[in-house]
Amino acid sequence: MSARPLPMPVNPALLRHAEERRKSLENRIADQITRFAGSMTFVYLHVIWFAAWIILGVEHYPFGLLTMIVSLEAIFLSTFVMISQNRADEKRQVLADHQWQTVQEEEQQNEQLLHLSNQILELTKAIHAMNTARSPTGSNNTEQAARSSIRNAMGDDQE
């Protein structure tokens, strides 16, 4: 009777959102009506119904009862279209929230990587200074500065 079921979402945030929607009977009913009303089966049934109404002469022209029934149906279907749009907006918001959370996590990781890169740079400079100090032309002050740089770089790691 209804159109094909929608595939399950792949995004974990959308999966959680779909599970929350399925908990409510109202949401499940609205989803089924919207899915059916948006199908070609719905169109074919209405074409057959209208043709049978007119051909069988259920009422005479100008078809007041049919007009009233179709108008009421249009009111309800427009409500379900708005429900469907609200559902789509909720999904977009869930995706936007999930994407924002991912961006924030990536920013934290980038900050950590930058901090590690700076520590590596300081250690590299300190090692270079120590090697320069050990060479026959290096001075004792350079070696002390290198050791101080290493202690500073190691101290940054402990903070």
For the chain, the C-alpha Rg in angstroms (whole number) is: 35
The 8-class DSSP code of residue 5 comes to: P
pTM over 0.75: no
Average pLDDT, the chain: 84
pLDDT > 60? residue 157: no
Q: For the chain, where are the alpha helices, taking DSSP H only?
A: 12-22, 25-37, 40-55, 64-134, 140-158
pLDDT > 90? residue 110: yes
Number of folded domains in the chain? Answer: 1
Q: Choose among 128, 129, 121, 115: nearest CA to 157.
A: 115
Q: Examine residue 7 and state whether it is found in any structural domain, yes or no.
A: no
Q: Examine residue 149 and state whether it is found in any structural domain, yes or no.
A: yes
For 3-25, write each residue's pLDDT tens digit.
566 666 677 777 787 788 788 88
Kindly write down the DSSP assignment for every residue of 112-150, as one continuous string. HHHHHHHHHHHHHHHHHHHHHHHSTT--HHHHHHHHHHH
pLDDT > 50? residue 159: no
Q: Examine residue 71 and state whether it is found in any structural domain, yes or no.
A: yes
| Containing structural domain, residue 117 | 13-158
What's residue 17's pLDDT?
A: 79
Secondary structure (3-state) at 79? helix
Average pLDDT over residues 127-145: 73
Cα(36)–Cα(15) distance, integer angstroms: 22
For 32-81, write each residue's pLDDT tens digit.
888 898 899 999 999 999 999 999 999 998 899 999 999 999 999 999 88
Residue with the larger pLDDT of the pair 67 and 155: 67
The HSE-up count of residue 126 (CA atoms within 13 Å, CB side) is 17
Q: Examine residue 8 and state whether it is found in any structural domain, yes or no.
A: no
